[in-house]
Amino acid sequence: MRIAFIGDIVGRPGRKIIQHNLENLIQKHNIDFVIANGENASHGFGLTIKNADELFKYGINLITGGNHSWDKKKDMLVLLETKDVLRPDNYPVGIQGSGVKVVQIGYEKLAVVNLMGLFCMPQVLNPFTHAVELVEKLKIDGIKHIFIDFHAEATAEKRVMMKLLQGKVSAICGTHTHIGTDDAEISDGTYYVTDIGMTGCRDNVIGMESDVPIKKALTGLGGHFNVPNNCKAILQIAIIDIDEDGQASNAFKLKLYDNKAEVLSQTIIN
């Protein structure tokens, strides 16, 4: 199977560049299933029902979350019950929704897992022990194709997750920092990248207008971050081939810019 993962979608610019490019990418690269992190898709904070439906219409099949999943709480409660939307699975017991979804793709089943790190994050259960138990259960259930969106601040936590689950899952893609890293690899059949990078405005500060972050840096006084209405946008997407044994066999990442025809890609061969 061939799956794709889109990094943190930030506001309208992120949704717009997906609208203009995703359908063509799916057809051109024969993608079977598209996952995207959407916790910043609505005005930069959270996800509304309207915007979730918009993203599904554009070709995204499943949306993952993170520390901003609950910023539009009323909408999120509905989405978790009615749509293919996840929140980190290691939130404390009793929180509505799930961070695991098993989908049928052709003759195979794919488990999509959403986890969140510890450093600078809301209170959650230990993601590492949680991941080990969860992967073991999925394996017992006969599921070999496992994709993990690990939403974490610390690069070390993401790397620990890779070494912990290397050879046991198909792919681990880090999200949250909005800055793409260049350490993508396939090791023992597991595709890994510390952070896939955001999809949204690339000429500001992690998708937000620059004035408030600059003011905070200079004075220590914060403010509300806003997503620009006009900007230069980027779409970042990883495309991963997974064989019948659940091992990543090949992968490449594409970066599309809305102001030029240039497309950057890097192919990884195991």
Distance between CA atoms of 139 and 131, rounded to whole angstroms?
12
In one letter, which amino acid is 55?
L
Query: Per the residue annotation, which of 68, 145, 151, 176 is the catalytic one?
Result: 68
Q: Tokens 């910043």 map to which residue?
A: 40
Q: How far is CA 222 from CA 17, 69, 179, 213, in A?
A: 29, 22, 21, 7
Burial label for 141, CB within 10 Å (0-12, 13-18, 19+), is: exposed
> Are 73 and 102 contacting, i.e. CB atoms less than 8 angstroms apart?
no
- Confirm whether 29 is a catalytic residue: no
Q: Tokens 């992690």 map to which residue?
A: 206
> Are 110 and 4 contacting, i.e. CB atoms less than 8 angstroms apart?
no
- Where in the sequence numbering do the catalytic residues fall? 68
